[in-house]
Structure 1
């Protein structure tokens, strides 16, 4: 069964010589090749235009990103701060949490609830004035909380100061609950008004 590979190559080369291309095949192939891929490269008129368009697009994306980033920064800077104990870390102002673990739990509960309620507030042109009024009152209470914390630090813990701090947190949370309820009423009133307009 073993065959010499040289014999196989000789037999194959004999068969290849018998096969000839049809007449004019090479000329037709070269003609199609030249039509598809011309020997001289075609100069593109849009080359500079595409470079200019790319630059304009990149510039537009950069300007848009910069504008978006700065608008978010402005919103963050204008957001009212409701917490008061963590704003001045260098001054070592005592808080309820510094007095006892139980008071820390109370303080953490109220601050977390306040932050949760604030995060649920949706500002729209219809409710902006209402929300601004509540935010202003919350900022006043936050300033009062800072003063009470300074008093706690300077004079030491007293029952009156501790109760005033807890009442301040409770009042802020109740204000946010009231704001939530008023926003719901405002939303339902506007829905009723909208449906009444559609019926006419």
Structure 2
């Protein structure tokens, strides 16, 4: 069954000589080809508008990218490149809300109530001294709250720290309630004094 490859090539060449292209075939083929193709070269249908729009978009994107990268480099160059070995990384201070959703509700309630009460306070020359005393005490309590929050962050949650934070919020709110009551008393006394002065 094995055949010599040389014999196969010889047989193939002999067959090719018998299957030669008829005379004049090439000339007929070229005539048909010329008849199908136009004699004038076809202009390429280049849409210059599409090319122009593509270039404008490319330039716009290039400019936008350059501006973005340049602004990032400006921001990076403004930040210090050499960091002090003694500086500590900034740690986010934890609050009651970070411990549980229930404590977050408690904290939000007290803080909203404190802000509401503070917004109701009207400063007048008669009550300025009274309000200033309460504001000083509120600032002390606020600083204590920050210190307790730092302790919560550093040592983790403990019953003592959580209760101290809640008590701090309660105390601030109670101070504002007392301030509101004293302002009402002060304003009613002022109205009474004005009424007695007008009666004489």
Query: TM-score by structure 1 length?
Result: 0.55
Give how far 1:91 is off: 3.4
In 1, distance between residues paired with 2:165 and 2:95?
9
Q: Tell me how far apart the structure 1 counterparts of residues 173 and 142 of structure 2 sit (CA, whole Å).
A: 12
Q: Could you say which residue in structure 1 is the equivalent of 2:180?
A: 180
Q: Tell me, yes or no, if structure 1 residue 195 matches structure 2 residue 200.
A: no
- Aligned CA-pair RMSD: 0.6
| 1:150 aligns to 2:150 (yes or no) | yes
Q: Which runs of 4+ in 1 moved over 6 A?
A: none
Cα drift, residue 192 of structure 1: 0.2
- Per-residue Cα deviation, 1:137-196 (whole angstroms, up to 9, x for no partner): 000000000000000000000000000000000000000000000000000000000000
Q: Which runs of 5+ in 2 are unaligned?
A: 1-89
Aligned residue runs from structure 1 range 46-195, under 5 A:
91-195=91-195
* Structure 1 unmatched ranges of 5 or more: 1-89
Give the TM-score of the pair, scaled to structure 2: 0.55
- Pick the structure with greater CA Rg: 2
SS in 2 for 1:91: coil
Q: Secondary structure at the match of 2:123?
A: coil
